[in-house]
Amino acid sequence: MSEIKGQLLGIVLVVAVFGVVGTVLVTAFQSAAKKVSQKIEDVTDPTPASSGTQNNDDILYGVELLKY
C-alpha cells in the first residue's frame, strides 16, 4: 500500500511542478510580447513623444526611413 502512495505522490508532484513551470513560462512570454508590441507601436507612431520639440515632417521622414 505504501508503494502505491509513493507513486501517487510522485505523480502529483510532477504534475504540480509542470503546472508551476508552465504558468511561469506563459507569464514571461505574455510580458515579453507586450513589451515588443509596445516598442513596435512607439517606432511606428508618427506623433512626437514630447510636444513641440520636433517637427511632424521630421518624424514622418524617420518613419519612412525605417520602412526601407
Burial group, residue 13, by CB count within 10 angstroms (0-12, 13-18, 19+): exposed
| Structure confidence at residue 10 (pLDDT) | 96
| Structural domain boundaries, residue 53 | 2-67
Nearest to 59 by CA among 26, 45, 39: 45
| Structure confidence at residue 11 (pLDDT) | 97
Task: Give the mean pLDDT of the chain.
Answer: 79
Q: Is the pLDDT of residue 43 over 60?
A: yes
- List, for residues 17-39, the tens digit of each pLDDT value: 999 999 999 999 999 999 988 88
In the chain, the number of structural domains is 1
pTM listed for this prediction: 0.54
Between 30 and 53, where is the model more confident? Answer: 30
Residue found under cell 524617420: 62
Cell of 13: 508532484
